[in-house]
Structure 1
Amino acid sequence: MPQNRKVGIKDVARRAEVANSTVSHVLNGTASISAEVRARVLEAAKELGYLADRKAKATISAFGTVLLAVTDDALPENETNLFSWTILNALSRDCERRGVKLVPHSETGNLSAANVISAAEKARADGIIIINDDRGDFLAGISASGLPAVLVNGEDQEMRIDSVSPGNRFAAQLATNWLISRGHRKILHLTWDGRTTIRRRQDGFWDAFRAHNLPLEDAPVLHVGGYEPRYGEEAVRLWLQQNGGLGGVTALFCAADNLAIGAMRALAAEGHAIPEDVSVIGFDGVALGDLVNPPLTTVKVPLEQMGPAALSLLEQRIVANDSERVAYRLELGCGVVERESVSTLS
């Protein structure tokens, strides 16, 4: 092929040994094409550089099938699982919009790298999207397979695969700064012994105190049994009993909206008015926050954007087709949603 000549559909069709119209249908999603033919056309387009050129114009998807690897507790839609469910729902919608087949693979408990890789190969998946599971040994196994993969709502601390997560540490610092700017100086942080993403929220909480030269003794952390509301309720009730009341705390910063909802139940049951006696702020921005009384101030996580962002990262890696490409870590910005559960101190 002469240099400087633009590659066109005819060149792709010739390389893939299909009709020009077949290439057009594959690239534009205008007809049902078999997986084998679609893969052959995309491979030819990639080899000739036509795929990257079209992708620069955002006109096609570079893949046809993606394996979704997730533990089964993240799949059901219920009041304690709105975080994961919202991510999955947005991912599913974006796959449908792009004409990408999403093949779910779930396991009880931790995911197995061997099982995920086997499922991806069986589905002839172009890549893998992993939800939540960021254990080091698991990610090492996925990385060693050579299959393009993106982790959603987790951190690969060794930066072996691409990942998308909220900017947890910065968002927690933002929320704590916001409370401090409203006069709060002793703030209790409710959290649980979760994954790295949850620990980042505790880091950000303390970052804000350090930035304001406030003593960390006034930033106590209360570790509870999990993220469900009952754990927040039990822990706050015990805190109130042990401290003979609020113990000087004027605000609670909870690492999840579920914990905040449970904390509010305990505070109300013990006769503490919100926000008159104590302020409460959550983290996640799930739908239930505006249904409690008073409506919950929270840190809004862009849940609807995480799945589409992961698909875009996966697509970039597939198009680049470069084994030396370094892992990308994408953190999405969060913001405070002001409702009625936080007061300003004079």
Structure 2
Amino acid sequence: MARGLGKVGIKDVAGAADVSVSTVSHVLNGTAPISAEVRERVLNAANALGYLAQRRTKAAISVLRTVLLAVPTDALPLSDNNLYSWSLLSALTRECERRAIRIVPFEVDKPTLSGSVIVEAAQAAEADGILLLNDDRSELLREIARSKIPAVLMNGEDHEMQVDSVTPGNRFAARHATNWLIGQGHRTILHMTWEGRSTIRRRLDGFLEAFRVNGIPASHARIALSDGFLPQLGEQAMLAWLDANSGLDGVTAIFCAADNLALGVMEALTRRGISMPGDVSVVGFDGVALGEFTNPPLTTVAVPLHHMGVSALNLLEMRIVNAMMSPPAHRLELGCRLIVRKSVRSLA
């Protein structure tokens, strides 16, 4: 059983692993060749005693003291339409409190704001690193990268791989959800999406890929575009699509690129007297809480929002610790999971 973190030291690990203190030091710091058997014994003991967790926590606190959090204006207020960003930021804030990291919020109030402004704010705050949410414009990321201030982009893609980034595995998760629908017997599926950033386009990529790998003609992969991700825009797009196609036109399932869109789609279907899942199944993406309370409850792809901020802090920590090595940028994709509720009917 692990002992209290404050009471565990390197001597305890050495005793538990039946090796010398110097051997433990060499294993943990990589300063000498150690046999695989001894190395495994030491690491198992250090983990069981809680020493590894203690060491990591101490390192995080000492390395990261202040971070600049650059956030788009529309991601800050809590609303039913903003649960995705708000959940991510809430979890990040709690983790910073746990690690005694000071957050300096910086509101990105214009979509044209330059990276140099963010860099200047970070320098003024004497920040150890920058966390940037959503905004993945290439020029902005170039300016941040040139500053040499460690930075991590959350929920975005740096196509030039200039800074570290952490994002959901959007393409793989969309492919998995679509593949699951196909496994439920659905062959003609509508993807409701919008002209969003690359993270949203990855969901479309995964949707189309599922049809290719299952050998289903591309004509069965239908696509509808909304003017945005808000529920009312999803409702308008769904109503327009139903009008243009004189109904469902053979579609048995609708896969929405966001839960917000799914809420609007479900409202449109209800207005037209189309039952769910009797006439058509509906799946969302994001896993925000409102999906539990729709009628029927929404099947969705849950994004690990509570882990994204933690992962971003860990990437910042790694970047600072390994600064002398100038490691290449990392792109971390987090796995999503499918939550099956009652909005999908099996046709298999």
TM-score, structure 1 length as denominator? 0.83
Is 1:59 matched with 2:61?
Answer: no
Residue 306 (structure 2) aligns with: 304
Residue 260 (structure 1) aligns with: 262
Give the letter for the 2:126 counterpart. Answer: R
How far does residue 323 in structure 1 lie from its aligned partner after superposition?
A: 5.5
Give the letter for the 2:78 counterpart. Answer: E
> Which of 158, 161, 186 is the aligned partner of 1:159?
161
Residue 3 (structure 2) aligns with: none
Give the letter for the 1:240 counterpart. Answer: L
Give the letter for the 2:59 counterpart. Answer: I
- Work out whether residues 69 and 106 of structure 1, in 8 Å CA contact, stay in contact via their aligned partners in 2: yes
How far does residue 223 in structure 1 lie from its aligned partner after superposition?
A: 1.1
Could you tell me the percent identity over the aligned residues?
54
Distance 2:238 2:146 in 1: 44
Residue 242 (structure 1) aligns with: 244
How far does residue 56 in structure 1 lie from its aligned partner after superposition?
A: 5.5
Is 1:72 matched with 2:84?
Answer: no
Give the letter for the 1:213 counterpart. Answer: G
Distance 2:243 2:316 in 1: 50
- Work out whether residues 54 and 60 of structure 1, in 8 Å CA contact, stay in contact via their aligned partners in 2: no
- Work out whether residues 225 and 231 of structure 1, in 8 Å CA contact, stay in contact via their aligned partners in 2: yes
How far does residue 57 in structure 1 lie from its aligned partner after superposition?
A: 4.2
Is 1:104 matched with 2:105?
Answer: yes
Closer, same or farther: CA 99–249 of 1 in aligned 2, 3 Å: same
Over residues 310-334 of structure 1, what are the superposed CA-to-partner deviations in whole Å (9 max), with x where a residue is unaligned? 0000001111123621000000000
Distance 1:284 1:321 in 2: 34
Residue 10 (structure 2) aligns with: none
Over residues 139-195 of structure 1, what are the superposed CA-to-partner deviations in whole Å (9 max), with x where a residue is unaligned? 111101110000000000111100000000000000000100000000000101010
Distance 2:109 2:301 in 1: 30
Over residues 190-246 of structure 1, what are the superposed CA-to-partner deviations in whole Å (9 max), with x where a residue is unaligned? 101010000000000000000001011110111110000011100111111111110
Distance 1:150 1:107 in 2: 16
**Range with greater deviation from structure 2 (104-113 or 308-317):** 104-113
Residue 137 (structure 1) aligns with: 139
Distance 2:258 2:224 in 1: 13
- Work out whether residues 57 and 99 of structure 2, in 8 Å CA contact, stay in contact via their aligned partners in 1: no
Distance 2:261 2:330 in 1: 31
- Work out whether residues 251 and 280 of structure 1, in 8 Å CA contact, stay in contact via their aligned partners in 2: yes
| Matched ranges for 1:221-236 at <5 A | 221-236=223-238
How far does residue 122 in structure 1 lie from its aligned partner after superposition?
A: 0.6
Distance 1:286 1:322 in 2: 40
> Which of 174, 177, 180 is the aligned partner of 1:178?
180
Distance 1:344 1:322 in 2: 55
Give the letter for the 2:108 counterpart. Answer: E
Distance 1:165 1:248 in 2: 34
Give the letter for the 1:227 counterpart. Answer: F
Q: How many residues align structurally?
A: 294
Other structure's SS at 2:130 match: strand
Give the letter for the 2:322 counterpart. Answer: A
Other structure's SS at 1:312 match: helix
How far does residue 109 in structure 1 lie from its aligned partner after superposition?
A: 2.5
Other structure's SS at 1:120 match: helix
How far does residue 291 in structure 1 lie from its aligned partner after superposition?
A: 1.0
Backbone CA RMSD of aligned residues: 1.3
- Work out whether residues 129 and 150 of structure 1, in 8 Å CA contact, stay in contact via their aligned partners in 2: yes
Distance 2:260 2:171 in 1: 19
| Matched ranges for 1:1-346 at <5 A | 57-61=56-60, 62-110=63-111, 111-322=113-324, 324-346=326-348
- Work out whether residues 164 and 306 of structure 1, in 8 Å CA contact, stay in contact via their aligned partners in 2: yes
How far does residue 58 in structure 1 lie from its aligned partner after superposition?
A: 3.7
Residue 31 (structure 1) aligns with: none
TM-score, structure 2 length as denominator? 0.83
Other structure's SS at 2:324 match: coil
Distance 1:173 1:256 in 2: 14
Distance 1:217 1:54 in 2: 52
How far does residue 55 in structure 1 lie from its aligned partner after superposition?
A: 8.4
How far does residue 108 in structure 1 lie from its aligned partner after superposition?
A: 1.5
Distance 2:331 2:271 in 1: 43
- Work out whether residues 65 and 102 of structure 1, in 8 Å CA contact, stay in contact via their aligned partners in 2: yes
Closer, same or farther: CA 141–95 of 1 in aligned 2, 3 Å: same
Distance 2:178 2:239 in 1: 23
